[in-house]
C-alpha cells in the first residue's frame, strides 16, 4: 500500500484521480484559489473531506480501517460515477443502516453531501 502525503492529498485531488484512472491521470487540482473566484467542485470536496473526514480517517491508525490518505483507501471509499454505491456517501447519509459520519458530530449539511455526490457522479474530476 502506497502512503500519500496528507498535505498533497488535501491540496490535490489529482492524486486520487491519477490513482483510479479518471482523466487518464492527467492534471492535478490545487486548493489554492485566487481571491474573488469560486472554488472548483474538486476544491469544495477537498475542503469537506479535510474538515470532516481527515481528522479520523488519515495517517497512522484510521478509524474503521478506512484511511483517506492512501490511494487504496480512497479507491475503496468511492465508486466513480456512482455516488449511491460509494461508501463515503453511504456513511455521510447514514443509509443502509450505517452510522452517520462524522461519528459523534453533527451530520453534514445536505449541500455538502450533494457536493460530494455530484463530484463522484461526475467521475471525481480534478477541476
pLDDT of residue 1: 37
One DSSP character per residue, 7-20 reads HHHHH-THHHHHHH
Residue for grid cell 476544491: 43
From first to last of its 127 residues, the chain has per-residue pLDDT tens of 334 343 333 334 443 433 333 333 333 333 444 456 778 988 898 899 889 998 888 877 677 777 777 656 777 899 999 999 999 999 999 998 888 999 999 999 999 999 999 999 999 886 6
Question: Is this prediction's pTM over 0.85?
Answer: no
CA pair distance 68, 58, nearest whole angstrom:
5
Backbone angles phi, psi at 49, to 5 degrees: -65, -45
Amino acid at each position: 500500500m502506497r502512503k500519500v502525503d496528507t498535505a498533497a492529498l488535501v491540496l490535490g485531488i489529482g492524486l486520487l484521480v491519477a490513482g483510479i484512472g479518471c482523466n487518464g491521470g492527467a492534471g492535478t487540482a490545487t486548493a489554492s484559489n485566487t481571491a474573488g473566484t469560486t472554488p472548483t467542485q474538486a476544491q469544495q470536496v477537498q475542503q469537506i473531506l479535510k474538515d470532516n473526514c481527515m481528522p479520523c480517517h488519515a495517517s497512522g491508525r484510521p478509524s474503521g480501517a478506512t484511511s483517506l490518505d492512501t490511494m487504496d483507501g480512497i479507491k475503496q471509499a468511492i465508486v466513480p460515477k456512482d455516488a449511491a454505491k460509494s461508501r463515503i456517501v453511504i456513511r455521510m447519509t447514514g443509509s443502509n443502516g450505517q452510522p452517520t459520519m462524522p461519528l459523534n458530530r453533527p451530520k453534514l449539511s445536505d449541500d455538502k453531501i450533494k457536493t460530494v455526490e455530484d463530484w463522484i457522479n461526475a467521475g471525481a474530476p480534478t477541476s
